[in-house]
Amino acid sequence: QVQLVESGGGLVQAGGSLRLSCAASGRTVNTFVMGWFRQTPGKEREFVAATHWIDGGTRYEDSVKGRFTISRDNAKNTIYLQMNSLKPEDTAVYYCAAGSLTMATMRSSYGFWGQGTQVTVSS
């Protein structure tokens, strides 16, 4: 019922910035929380940030606090991840997620996923 499409990934130097976008379509009325996860080869998909669709509340993984900002545009059914001061360890495929009732950090809490967008940070 919900489709998610990520965009905005790319190759940047350490200290640079990128803004990821996730456009949602379909029956988005029940997507109470949307967020971002990331994954590198051989590792589990890990939580990055989440926002409540209605009130805009946010939650961040400790390693990105102060550097990343999650936001939403209700009119466009789109969430964003502004990534500043990027580090090589931020390199990963970033996935948009939706459908959690709370700002959960477990991937099993989210019922809808995008296909991912690659972010590579060089040093």
Question: What digits encode the pLDDT tens for the residues 63-108?
Answer: 999 999 999 998 899 999 999 999 999 999 999 999 999 999 999 9
Beta-carbon neighbour count of residue 101 at 10 Å?
10
Provide the mean pLDDT of the chain. Answer: 95
What integer pLDDT is reported at residue 55 of this predicted model? 86
Beta-carbon neighbour count of residue 116 at 10 Å?
18
Look at the block and give the residue holding tokens 């296909």. Answer: 115
